[in-house]
Amino acid sequence: MRNKNYLLILLLVIGLFYGLNSCKDKNRHSIVSPVSKEAVLSPKLLNSERIKMAFGSYGIDVLKKNSKLRVSNLYSLHDDKKITRTFAVVRYPERIDSMFLKEHTKILDGESIGRVFKEGQWKIEKQPFLFGAISASPDYVKVYNLMGHIMPSELAIYIYGFNVKKGDKSYHYATISEVYHPDYLTLTDLKTIYPDAKNYLNNASFTQTLNQVKKEMKAN
C-alpha cells in the first residue's frame, strides 16, 4: 500500500511539472514582441504605418463620402474584430488640382491618403492647425462603439492641412481631422510626435472645423 501511495504521489508530481511547462510554452507562443513607445511615436511615420506598428494590422473603411467630404474608420484587428484607432474627417477644397487627379481617384475609391501619395513619389507635408482633446460625452457613443465599445472617454484630436510637394511646387490637397482611440494616441503623445503642438492647442481659428468633426462623430 505504501509503494502504491509513493507511486501515486510521483505521478501527480510529474503531471504537475509537465502541466506547468505546457502553460509556459503556450504563454511563450502567445506573446507578441512589443514595439517600443518611442518607435510608435516617430514623426516619420504615416498614421497608417503607426497603427500597423502599434497593433499589428491596419485597414480602412469609408463611412461617408461625397465631393467635399470623406469620413473614414482607420482600424486594426483584434480577435478578428475591427477596432477604430483613428476616426478621420477629410475636407477637400472646391477644386482638385489636375496634378494629382490619379491619386485623388484612388482615394475616392477608399484607399489611404498618405499611402497613395507616398507611393506616387510625393513628399508629404502636414501643416498643423489644431491640437486638442474632445471631452467625453454620450453624444459620441457610435464612435466609442467603433473603438471597441469603450466607455465615454476624452479623445485627442489633430487637425492639419495635408499638403504635397513634387519638385519645387507645393499643393494643398485637403484639411484632415483625426480623432484617436485613447489606447492609441493621447494629447501627450501628440505633443511628443509634434514638438510645436503647444503653438496650436485649441486654436480658436479652427473651432468651426472642430464643431464639424463633432457633428460627424454624432452622425456615424
Range 151-171 average pLDDT: 96
Residues paired with 76 in a beta bridge: 83
92 in Cβ contact with 67 (< 8 Å): yes
104 in Cβ contact with 40 (< 8 Å): no
Residue 18 confidence (pLDDT): 40
Which sign does the torsion angle of CA 182, 184, 187, 189 carry? positive
- Other CB atoms within a 10 A radius of the CB of residue 178 amount to 20
- How far lies 185's CA from each of 40, 87, 110, 111, 178, in Å? 10, 12, 23, 22, 10
- Range of lowest pLDDT (32-36, 114-118, 153-157, 187-191): 32-36
pLDDT at 208 > cutoff 90: yes
Range 18-32 average pLDDT: 36
Q: For residues 142 and 88, give the distance between their C-alpha atoms in angstroms, rounded to a whole number.
A: 14
Residue 91 confidence (pLDDT): 97
71 in Cβ contact with 64 (< 8 Å): yes
Which pTM does this prediction carry? 0.83
Residue 35 confidence (pLDDT): 81
pLDDT at 30 > cutoff 60: no
Residue 142 confidence (pLDDT): 94
Tell me which of 3.40.50.280, 3.40.1410.10, 3.40.50.261, 3.30.70.120 is the CATH number of domain 37-219.
Answer: 3.40.1410.10
pLDDT at 88 > cutoff 90: yes
Domains of the chain, by residue range, sit at 1-31, 37-219
147 in Cβ contact with 217 (< 8 Å): no
- Could you tell me which of 177, 170, 183 has the C-alpha nearest to residue 206? 177
Q: For residues 71 and 110, give the distance between their C-alpha atoms in angstroms, rounded to a whole number.
A: 10
Range 105-127 average pLDDT: 94
